[in-house]
């Protein structure tokens, strides 16, 4: 009964979304206040209906209702409760429902928080958001309905893939979707502004918080996914340049570009057309990501028709929304006249450089991801594009970005001077260079990646600190320190996010350059040296888990005879899915992680054991969190709220 209720709510949500898409749009065209007013309740009702539907599906999973195909395929009575709940979105149909829920949530948020928007813009934004909802709800109901029943329910389910039964992964998809779908707001604002025919500073200010929120969620989502890959997959890798990862990375890069170009629109009324284009493309890449993930076209070039119906449908959504928005853009872009003037050396130019590097970086990731497909289609060549290509083609742009970041961040608007602008940064530059060279000298014969990472990290982090400090003006130190606390949160957010980026760049280089690896056979009771540590395999035991059997090793790590930690790496076997998993045991440290993996028993006795020392691993995810926190600081800046009040007053005056 509850399941039928959820199914019905979903169909009803589609009907409401159709109303939300059409009526306010027509109302905005006719300047009819009553019709435009439909937008708000429609957006909220759509959200409530999809939330009810989502709750019904969750109920089915929690109570193990095996009359639902989806529950049978992805759940099991013995599965821990957390994974029964995360199983709701741990599959294609359920994750689409989560996607639709978040889409509707953003639409409803626009209705709730959009009080300061001009009425026609608000109606159009919500209507465009509704149209995306229509597309995805139809996709779900016609090709991927989560509420399909079985005539004869089985006694138990087939369980969730054991690799997905993990707390890190339980929360990875929701964050990622909040990011992906959050970019739909930027898209809706862009399309609404194009229909409206007006892009001004206020538009830049309105679109920025939504993009910022989407970017924060994307950052956390990607970091969670990368962390999961690190501890779950068993060899300490954190990024694989896999098409699915790239699918989330491209919108992330473009959303950073969008964040920065929207600043130029807001402060200087320039780069309008480019910003609109970025807003459209950022969501476009979210859709492309959805296509890559759900059609199976790109990862497995050989099973082209993995799920043709779904793939074709998403391609149609992509074609309609991108085609429509870009056509509209082509007609209206010319009328978006830029106002602010600026010189070659200025903050504006620095942000243009930032946008150029980020967009090209995203493009490189894009072409690398789809090249196997293109090469097969047009040249009949079956080939692969992997890590070496991305390292070579992507890294230069990332490095260039880190190099110009501190200089650009301190450049004055309109007109600046390179040398004068860089003067406060000279100590940071010298220090970065000196420490980088020192590291280079100390590690003779190893890759240059480590020293470069150190230098870039110091440069960007110190640059962020100098930037913040320079905001406090001149005068006595005490006065400047006091002023530091009174700086706007946006300044703190900027410095924090930039510093987080520096830390992440450093950690990526450090992990790639200085990882220690050891592979060997160890017998019970045997010891071996790992860097400065001595590791002893004391015992290997069979342990029974809730829905798996485990082979658990107990390993003692000592340094100079003193016990550092006891780690218990496992090999698990999940009988329902017939699948083994490796559970690495990690001693998380500030400067390094000790990472132990137990492998198969060997013919001659003993076990294969893999050990790694991962330098600065926590800095990588810490850097991502700091970046996201910086975004959050900016999001709570008072200026957004003050501006909201101010524009409400001006919006009361009839437009034009």
Partner 1 sequence: MIVVKRFLLTLMLAAAPLAPVHAVQPDEVLADPGLEARARAISRDLRCPVCQGESIDDSNAPISRDLRLVVRERIMAGDTDAQVIDFVVSRYGEFVLFNPKAEGANLILWLAGPSVFLLGAAGAFVYIRRRGQPIAPDVALSADEQARLRDLIGK
Q: Which of 59, 171, 304, 389 binds partner 1 (CB under 8 A)?
A: 389
Q: Which is nearer to partner 1, 367 or 566 (CB)?
A: 367
- Is residue 347 close enough to count as binding partner 1 by CB under 8 A? no
Dist. CA 357–CA 497, nearest whole Å: 18
Choices 38-46, 364-372, 438-446, 499-507 (CB under 8 A): range interacting with partner 1: 364-372
- Is residue 75 close enough to count as binding partner 1 by CB under 8 A? no
Dist. CA 210–CA 185, nearest whole Å: 6
- Is residue 306 close enough to count as binding partner 1 by CB under 8 A? yes
Q: Which of 156, 196, 200, 307 binds partner 1 (CB under 8 A)?
A: 307
- Is residue 378 close enough to count as binding partner 1 by CB under 8 A? yes
Q: Which is nearer to partner 1, 386 or 479 (CB)?
A: 386
| 114-173: contacts with partner 1 (CB under 8 A) | 161, 163-164, 169, 173
Question: Are the C-beta atoms of residues 123 and 28 closer than 8 Å to each other?
Answer: yes
Q: What is the total count of residues that contact partner 1 (CB under 8 A)?
A: 76
Record the tokens describing residue 563, joined without a space. 């016990």
Q: Which of 31, 381, 638, 648 binds partner 1 (CB under 8 A)?
A: 381
- Is residue 300 close enough to count as binding partner 1 by CB under 8 A? yes
Record the tokens describing residue 500, joined without a space. 């987080």
Question: Are the C-beta atoms of residues 288 and 247 closer than 8 Å to each other?
Answer: yes
- Is residue 352 close enough to count as binding partner 1 by CB under 8 A? yes
Of the candidates 397, 428, 621, 597, the one whose C-alpha atom is nearest the C-alpha of residue 508 is: 621
- Is residue 90 close enough to count as binding partner 1 by CB under 8 A? yes
Per DSSP, 146 falls in state T
For 322, other C-beta atoms within 10 Å of its C-beta total 18
| 542-601: contacts with partner 1 (CB under 8 A) | 577-582, 599-600
Question: Are the C-beta atoms of residues 194 and 148 closer than 8 Å to each other?
Answer: no
| In 487-530, alpha helices (H) | 489-514
Dist. CA 646–CA 642, nearest whole Å: 6
- Is residue 95 close enough to count as binding partner 1 by CB under 8 A? yes
3-state secondary structure of 579: strand
Q: Which is nearer to partner 1, 414 or 471 (CB)?
A: 414
Choices 110-118, 374-382, 417-425, 623-631 (CB under 8 A): range interacting with partner 1: 374-382
Q: Which is nearer to partner 1, 307 or 534 (CB)?
A: 307
| 480-539: contacts with partner 1 (CB under 8 A) | 519-521
Q: Which of 24, 27, 130, 296 binds partner 1 (CB under 8 A)?
A: 296
| 428-467: contacts with partner 1 (CB under 8 A) | none
- Is residue 418 close enough to count as binding partner 1 by CB under 8 A? no
Q: Which of 150, 316, 341, 442 binds partner 1 (CB under 8 A)?
A: 341
Q: Which of 40, 65, 159, 348 binds partner 1 (CB under 8 A)?
A: 348
Q: Which is nearer to partner 1, 183 or 357 (CB)?
A: 357
For 63, other C-beta atoms within 10 Å of its C-beta total 12
Of the candidates 574, 570, 580, the one whose C-alpha atom is nearest the C-alpha of residue 83 is: 574
Q: Which is nearer to partner 1, 318 or 338 (CB)?
A: 338
Beta bridge partners of 173: none
Sheet holding 592-601, edge to edge: 516-522, 607-615, 592-601, 585-587
Pairing between strand 585-587 and 592-601? antiparallel
Record the tokens describing residue 425, joined without a space. 């940064």
- Is residue 398 close enough to count as binding partner 1 by CB under 8 A? no
- Is residue 340 close enough to count as binding partner 1 by CB under 8 A? yes
Q: How far is the CB of 542 from partner 1 (least distance, A)?
A: 18
Sign of torsion over alpha carbons 516, 520, 523, 526: negative
| 216-245: contacts with partner 1 (CB under 8 A) | 229, 233-235, 237, 240, 242-245
For 30, other C-beta atoms within 10 Å of its C-beta total 10
Contact string (CB under 8 A) for partner 1, positions 33-72, x = contact: ----------------------------------------
Sign of torsion over alpha carbons 100, 106, 107, 108: positive
């Amino acid at each position: 009964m509850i399941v039928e209720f959820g199914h019905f709510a979903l169909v009803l949500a589609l009907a409401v979304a159709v109303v939300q898409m059409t009526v306010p749009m027509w109302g905005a065209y006719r300047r009819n206040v009553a019709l435009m007013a439909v937008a708000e309740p429609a957006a909220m009702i759509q959200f409530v209906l999809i939330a009810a539907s989502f709750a019904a599906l969750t109920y089915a999973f929690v109570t193990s209702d095996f009359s639902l195909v989806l529950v049978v395929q992805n759940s099991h009575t013995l599965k821990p409760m957390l994974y029964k709940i995360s199983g709701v979105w741990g599959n294609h149909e359920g994750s689409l429902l989560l996607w639709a829920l978040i889409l509707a949530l953003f639409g409803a948020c626009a209705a709730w928080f959009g009080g300061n928007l001009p009425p026609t813009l608000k109606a159009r934004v919500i209507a465009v958001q509704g149209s995306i909802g229509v597309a995805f709800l139809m996709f779900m109901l016609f090709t991927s309905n989560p509420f399909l029943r079985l005539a004869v329910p089985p006694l138990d389910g087939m369980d969730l893939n054991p690799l997905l039964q993990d707390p890190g992964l339980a929360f990875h998809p929701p964050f990622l979707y909040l990011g992906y779908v959050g970019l739909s707001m930027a898209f809706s604002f862009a399309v609404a502004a194009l229909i409206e025919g007006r892009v001004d500073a206020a538009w830049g200010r309105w679109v920025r918080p939504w993009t910022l929120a989407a970017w924060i969620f994307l950052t956390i989502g990607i970091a969670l996914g990368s962390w999961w890959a690190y501890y779950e997959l068993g060899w300490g890798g954190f990024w694989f340049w896999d098409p699915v990862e790239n699918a989330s990375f491209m919108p992330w890069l473009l959303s950073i570009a969008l964040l920065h170009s929207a600043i130029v629109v807001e402060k200087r009324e320039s780069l309008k057309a480019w910003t609109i284009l970025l807003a459209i493309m950022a969501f476009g890449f979210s859709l492309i990501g959805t296509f890559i993930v759900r059609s199976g076209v790109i990862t497995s070039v050989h099973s082209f028709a993995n799920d043709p119906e779904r793939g074709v449908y998403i391609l149609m959504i992509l074609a309609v929304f991108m085609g429509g928005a870009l056509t509209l853009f082509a007609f209206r872009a010319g009328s978006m006249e830029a106002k602010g003037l600026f010189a070659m050396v200025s903050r504006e130019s620095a942000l243009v450089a930032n946008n150029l590097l980020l967009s090209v970086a995203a493009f490189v990731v894009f072409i690398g991801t789809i090249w196997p497909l293109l090469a097969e289609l047009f040249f009949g060549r079956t080939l692969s594009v992997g890590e070496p290509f991305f390292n070579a083609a992507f890294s230069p742009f990332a490095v260039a970005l880190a190099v110009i970041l501190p200089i650009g961040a301190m450049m004055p608007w309109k007109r600046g001077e390179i040398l004068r602008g860089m003067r406060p940064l000279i100590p940071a530059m010298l220090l970065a260079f000196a420490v980088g060279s020192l590291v280079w000298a100390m590690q003779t014969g190893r890759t240059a990646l480590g020293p470069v990472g150190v230098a870039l990290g110091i440069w960007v982090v110190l640059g962020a600190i100098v930037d913040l400090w320079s905001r406090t003006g001149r005068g006595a130190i005490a006065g400047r320190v006091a002023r530091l606390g009174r700086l706007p949160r946006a300044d703190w957010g900027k410095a924090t996010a930039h510093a987080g980026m520096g830390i992440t760049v450093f950690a990526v280089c450090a992990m790639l350059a200085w990882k220690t690896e050891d592979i060997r056979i160890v017998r019970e009771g045997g010891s071996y040296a790992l860097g400065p540590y001595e590791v002893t395999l004391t015992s290997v035991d069979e342990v029974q888990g809730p829905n798996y059997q485990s082979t658990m090793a107990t390993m003692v790590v000592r340094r100079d005879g003193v016990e550092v930690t006891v780690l218990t790496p496992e090999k698990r076997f999940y009988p329902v899915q017939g699948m083994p998993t490796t559970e690495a045991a990690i001693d998380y440290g500030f400067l390094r992680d000790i990472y132990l993996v137990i492998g198969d028993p060997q013919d001659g006795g003993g076990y294969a054991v893999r050990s790694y020392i991962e330098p600065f691993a926590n800095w990588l995810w810490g850097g991502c969190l700091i970046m996201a926190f910086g975004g959050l600081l900016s999001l709570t800046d008072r200026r957004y709220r003050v501006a909201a009040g101010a524009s409400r007053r001006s919006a009361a005056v009839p437009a034009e």
